[in-house]
């Protein structure tokens, strides 16, 4: 798509049906996108979360669904005898861990290599990188201008570049305009500055409704915008990734660049939240 914002009311691509959580989503069905409470804080990718993201699809495919017969919870008889029914956890991370162990045991995955990937996303790649970019932009007007002019080069000044971040565009929120990022085709995301995408960002429901009803999606995520504020929806692609520059909160003029960066959240750089 061109490197210009498209108002949601002028989007030519309209998704009317998508499979989400076993239900059919269309314009007559309301779907909530409430994020977890910890999504408003800078994210630290743990081993469990990364493994869930990378391997959960494979685990789900290889592990049959758990039925009531297997759990023994809904069997149809009355009794007073005391026996233990095993309650299997529903957390897919357990399946993921089992799959990881199996792959390592079979020699298909190197545990050290896996640890290196986790360490990279936990300590070198992630929202803290994007927060440093925003902190610099707020503290340094000259850098902010470079970021809005050539985001790829400006971000590289801080040492952040690489796969999924080769062609970056920064879009700035103001009191009149609010930017929202989505990938309508899959889950294109700027890994070098934001790390791994959250689960809700990849969901068909968010990808469809962010285009059709961005104001409603933001409201469900806890961000109520005045009607006079224009919402611009940016569709990330394999060629271009977007980074939202949030509005700087009032009363932060005395804060240092590092202190400013500490206040920036992942969600604010996607455009589904503001910085408090």
Would you please indicate which residues are annotated as catalytic (active-site) residues?
183, 186-188
Distance between CA atoms of 131 and 91, rounded to whole angstroms?
A: 31
* C-beta of residue 272 within 8 angstroms of C-beta of residue 180: yes
The two three-digit tokens of residue 164, written as one number: 């999924």
The two three-digit tokens of residue 216, written as one number: 């409603």
CA dihedral (204, 205, 210, 214) in degrees, to 10, reads: 180
Distance between CA atoms of 130 and 154, rounded to whole angstroms?
A: 12
Distance between CA atoms of 92 and 142, rounded to whole angstroms?
A: 46
The two three-digit tokens of residue 226, written as one number: 């005045």
Distance of CA 34 to the CA centre of its chain: 13
């Amino acid at each position: 798509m061109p490197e210009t914002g498209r108002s949601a009311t002028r989007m030519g691509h309209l998704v009317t049906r998508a499979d989400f959580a076993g239900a059919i989503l269309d314009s007559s069905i309301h779907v909530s996108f409430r994020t977890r409470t910890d999504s408003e804080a800078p994210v630290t990718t743990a081993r469990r979360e990364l493994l869930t993201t990378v391997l959960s699809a494979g685990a789900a495919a290889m592990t049959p669904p758990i039925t009531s017969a297997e759990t023994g919870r809904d069997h149809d008889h009355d009794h007073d005898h005391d026996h233990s029914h095993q309650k299997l956890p529903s957390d897919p991370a357990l399946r993921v861990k089992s799959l990881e162990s199996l792959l390592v045991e079979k020699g298909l995955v190197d545990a050290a290599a896996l640890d290196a990937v986790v360490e990279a996303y936990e300590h070198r790649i992630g929202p803290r990188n994007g927060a440093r970019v925003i902190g610099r932009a707020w503290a340094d007007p000259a850098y902010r201008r470079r970021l809005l002019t050539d985001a790829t080069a400006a971000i590289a000044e801080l040492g952040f570049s690489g796969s999924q971040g080769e062609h970056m565009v920064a879009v700035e929120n103001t009191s009149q305009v609010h930017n929202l990022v989505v990938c309508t085709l899959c889950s294109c995301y700027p890994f070098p500055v934001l790390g791994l995408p959250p689960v809700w960002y990849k969901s068909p429901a968010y990808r469809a409704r962010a285009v059709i009803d961005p104001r409603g999606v933001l409201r469900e995520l806890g961000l109520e915008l005045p009607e006079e504020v224009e919402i611009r929806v940016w569709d990330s692609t394999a060629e271009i990734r977007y980074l939202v520059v949030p509005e700087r909160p009032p009363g932060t003029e005395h804060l240092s660049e590092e202190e400013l960066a500490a206040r920036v959240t992942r969600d604010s750089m996607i455009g589904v939240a503001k910085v408090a």
